[in-house]
């Protein structure tokens, strides 16, 4: 299988660096969409009888959100919290791809008869890797979500935002707010990368290195499937990690189930899919660019390791030849 061959050539840290690099580049390019989808997901649909807060901006669509954020905060507003976001993206994807490579390699090596993992196994391996990655990286996600939903007057740096979370009623545990939802949401990358591997085997069987457009296509297709399947949980997680809506008078949500109940009561079932347009748009572009960049990075690592191996073998051969020559010179010449 293509995945097996590549994993045999590149160590886990190499695959992790390739994945993290692709993720950072892709997310930096489409970051404004990340801001927009977060703002759309945390806002509560107002009823005609509700009073309109003087500092509350309501967004009707993706373009409306982009226009209003740019008008209120300038273009800089579309990049609020980008430093923390990219740190989170880099750390999460490095951890994910590292552990995904490790657990997948362990599984494949445990098989008596080499065979591609089934879809269920592929999803399970992705879920395990995703759970480990989330435990260590969720504090960055919490801080970033807070930064993305802060108004211009409330805007703070990463450290100050983290202190604000810690000083809330949750204390230090506030940095892991939404962990349960995040652990449930490991099915998203699990579906994404499980579907990617499966689609790759079906559409491009036996192909070790994909062309950029092929990797982009597979990444976009797999991410779309994952996003549609998990959007309600994504909305609930964002609701948990952001400030509670004004109608709750500062009372934070305790679980993602409570967030979902609140949304359904106030906005109906469709409220669980709010922000799905920028979510899918972002996912399509990010995952496509991520996998495209990752495939190129992995190819560079393959070429690098091959070159290093060739240089090492060449050095060993020279050393062996030199040792043989010295030994030959040191031996007494025996003549009959």
The C-alpha atoms of residue 179 and residue 5 are separated, in whole angstroms, by 35
pLDDT in tens, 17-58: 888 888 888 888 888 888 888 888 887 766 555 555 555 677
Q: Say yes or no to pLDDT of 164 above 80.
A: yes
The C-alpha atoms of residue 330 and residue 336 are separated, in whole angstroms, by 19
Within a domain: residue 322?
no
Instruction: Provide the pLDDT for residue 50.
Output: 56
**CATH number of the domain encompassing residue 183:** 1.50.40.10
Domain of residue 202 covers: 12-287
Within a domain: residue 97?
yes
Instruction: Provide the pLDDT for residue 53.
Output: 55
Mean pLDDT on 293-309? 81
b/e 152-188 (16+ beta carbons within 10 angstroms → b): eeeeeebeebbebbeeeeeeeebbbbbbebbebbbbb
Domain count, the chain: 1
Within a domain: residue 293?
no
Q: Say yes or no to pLDDT of 209 above 60.
A: yes
* DSSP-based helix, strand, coil % in the chain, nearest 5: 75, 0, 25
Within a domain: residue 323?
no
Mean pLDDT on 174-182? 77
Instruction: Provide the pLDDT for residue 49.
Output: 56
Tokens 């949500």: give the residue: 253
pLDDT in tens, 129-147: 878 888 878 888 888 888 7
Higher pLDDT pick, 4 / 308: 308
Confidence grade of residue 1 (pLDDT, cut at 50, 70, 90): very low
Segment among 269-273, 298-302, 329-333 with least mean pLDDT: 329-333
Within a domain: residue 230?
yes
Instruction: Provide the pLDDT for residue 233.
Output: 85
pLDDT in tens, 213-242: 888 888 888 888 888 888 888 888 888 877
b/e 97-128 (16+ beta carbons within 10 angstroms → b): bbbbbbbbbeebeeeeeeebbeeeebbbbbbb
Higher pLDDT pick, 313 / 119: 313
Within a domain: residue 108?
yes
Within a domain: residue 328?
no
- Cβ neighbors of 59 (< 8 A, separation 6 or more) are 36, 39, 40, 43, 65, 68
With contact defined as beta carbons under 8 Å apart, do 235 and 272 qualify? yes
Within a domain: residue 66?
yes
């Amino acid at each position: 299988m293509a995945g097996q061959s590549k994993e045999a050539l590149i160590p886990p840290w190499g695959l992790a660096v390739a994945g993290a690099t692709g993720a950072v580049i892709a997310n930096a390019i489409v970051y404004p969409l990340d801001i927009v989808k977060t703002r759309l997901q945390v806002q509560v649909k107002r009823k005609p009888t509700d009073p309109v807060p003087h500092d509350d901006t309501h967004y009707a669509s993706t373009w409306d959100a982009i226009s209003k954020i740019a008008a209120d905060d300038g273009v800089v507003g579309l990049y609020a919290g980008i430093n923390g976001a990219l740190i989170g993206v880099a750390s999460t994807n490095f951890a994910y791809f590292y552990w995904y490579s490790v657990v997948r390699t362990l599984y494949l090596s445990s098989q008596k008869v080499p065979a591609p993992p089934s879809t269920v196994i592929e999803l399970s391996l992705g879920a395990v890797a995703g759970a480990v990655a989330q435990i260590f990286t969720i504090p960055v996600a919490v801080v970033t979500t807070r930064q993305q939903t802060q108004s211009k007057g409330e805007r703070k740096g990463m450290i100050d935002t983290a202190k604000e979370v810690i000083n809330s009623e949750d204390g230090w545990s506030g940095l892991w707010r939404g962990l349960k939802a995040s652990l449930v949401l490991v099915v998203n990358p699990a579906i994404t990368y499980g579907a990617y591997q499966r689609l790759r085997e079906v559409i491009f069987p036996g192909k070790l290195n994909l062309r950029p457009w092929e990797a982009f296509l597979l990444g976009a297709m797999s991410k779309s499937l994952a996003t549609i399947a998990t959007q309600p949980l994504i909305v609930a997680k964002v609701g948990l990690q952001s400030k509670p809506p004004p109608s709750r008078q500062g009372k934070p949500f305790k679980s993602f189930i409570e967030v979902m109940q609140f949304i359904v009561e106030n906005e109906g079932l469709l409220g669980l899919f709010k922000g799905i347009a920028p979510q899918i748009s972002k996912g399509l572009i990010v995952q496509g660019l991520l996998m495209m960049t990752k495939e190129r990075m992995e190819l560079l690592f393959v070429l690098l390791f091959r070159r290093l191996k060739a240089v090492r073998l060449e050095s060993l051969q020279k050393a062996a030849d030199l040792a043989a020559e010295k030994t030959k010179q040191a031996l007494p010449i025996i003549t009959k």
